[in-house]
Amino acid sequence: MTLKKLTYLVILLSVMVLSACGKEDDNPGSDTNEDITLKTIEVDLQVPEHANPGEDVLIKAKVTQGDEEVEDAQAVKFEIWEKNDKDNSEMIDFTDQSGGTYGITHSFEKEAIYEVQVHVDARNMHVMPKTMIQVGEASLDDYEEQSDEQSHDEHSHSHGEGATAEEHSHHDETDITVHLADNEWHVGEESKITIHLEKEENPYTEARVRLEIWQEGNKQHDWVDATESNPGKYEASYNFTQSGEFQVKIHVEHEDGTHIHTQENVHIH
């Protein structure tokens, strides 16, 4: 074999060895990609099944991501209302934290069935499980009868003079939850406003979401469209030009006939 052929052979073998090494390096990389796959946030809402009126009750939410406790949640709020009366709900920030468990101590004033829902914003995700608690001797059957009577009254009223399609959708779509994510907004900065929509504890997608924004005492109302960035998560940008109290009215429409709105008070620094 000539020296020239021997040189070509050495070069060829070197290229083959380097190629093999490159393939071996690819495999560990694929394992790494699997390891960094984003896991969803899970929330275990812990509420006693029964309590007495005036009794202090511990309500907790354990927040995890995979096997890790989430200790850096941006916001954890507990929303409480008497069944069938969500319009008068009370929103309470967590007061105790131990690792990834957030809690409050709460007492219920009267015998009733109450709904408890926790709103958790953590690591760019929003989770809001819900459960019920019986206080005193209240019966769930009473609320089901009340709901049936209310539905009958609304049905009769909707067929009366002047009933509109919008009235139907307001009555029928009360299972849609609208949540304005907590944030601290400042004058002169582009503020990102995030809204989460859920229906029966699932993301409510493909809705048209518009924000009506105005300052207390000001007749001028600005309208801003929000876009869906993730399933059930809608975002909009707005520049607040003054500090103080503002009203944000969230309008939700959908091709399924839904047309609802809810209003929030926000403070601009």
Q: Which residue blocks in the chain are alpha helix, DSSP H?
A: 3-35, 140-158, 165-172
Looking at residue 207, its pLDDT comes to: 93
DSSP 8-state assignment for residue 160: S
Task: Kindly give, in sequence order, each residue whose CB lies less than 8 Å from that of residue 201, ignoring residues fewer than 6 positions away.
Answer: 128, 129, 130
| Half-sphere exposure in the Cβ direction for 257 (13 Å, CA) | 11
Q: pLDDT tens digit string along 13-52?
A: 665 655 555 544 455 444 444 443 467 889 999 999 999 9
Q: How far apart are the first and last CA of the chain?
A: 84
The residues spanned by each domain of the chain are 41-156, 174-268
- Report d(CA 147, CA 141) in Å as an integer: 10
Looking at residue 12, its pLDDT comes to: 62
Q: What pTM did the predictor assign?
A: 0.54
Residue with tokens 């354990």: 62
Looking at residue 30, its pLDDT comes to: 45
Decide: residue 177, CB within 10 A, 0-12 exposed, 13-18 middle, 19+ buried. buried
Task: Kindly give, in sequence order, each residue whose CB lies less than 8 Å from that of residue 222, ignoring residues fewer than 6 positions away.
Answer: 212, 213, 214, 238
Looking at residue 163, its pLDDT comes to: 37
Phi then psi for residue 56, to 5 deg, are -70, 130
Phi then psi for residue 250, to 5 deg, are -100, 115
Looking at residue 170, its pLDDT comes to: 36
- Report d(CA 129, CA 65) in Å as an integer: 15
Looking at residue 81, its pLDDT comes to: 93
- Report d(CA 210, CA 252) in Å as an integer: 7
Looking at residue 17, its pLDDT comes to: 56
CATH code of the region 41-156: 2.60.40.1930
Does residue 219 contact residue 212 with C-beta atoms inside 8 Å? no
Is the backbone of residue 186 left (phi > 0), alpha (psi -120 to 50) or beta? Answer: beta
Residue with tokens 């009506």: 212
Helix axes 140-158, 165-172, angle to 10 degrees: 170
Looking at residue 10, its pLDDT comes to: 57
Tell me the CATH class for 174-268. Answer: mainly beta
Asked whether the domain spanning 174-268 has the same topology as the one spanning 41-156, the reply is: yes
Looking at residue 11, its pLDDT comes to: 62
Looking at residue 176, its pLDDT comes to: 87
For each of the chain's 269 residues, which pLDDT tens digit applies?
A: 565 555 566 566 665 655 555 544 455 444 444 443 467 889 999 999 999 999 999 999 999 999 999 999 999 999 999 988 888 889 999 999 999 999 999 999 999 999 999 999 998 888 888 899 999 998 877 776 655 555 455 444 444 444 333 333 333 445 788 999 877 889 988 899 999 999 888 899 999 999 999 987 777 888 899 999 999 999 999 999 889 999 999 999 888 878 888 888 888 98
Does residue 178 contact residue 252 with C-beta atoms inside 8 Å? yes
The pairing of strands 130-135 and 50-51 is parallel
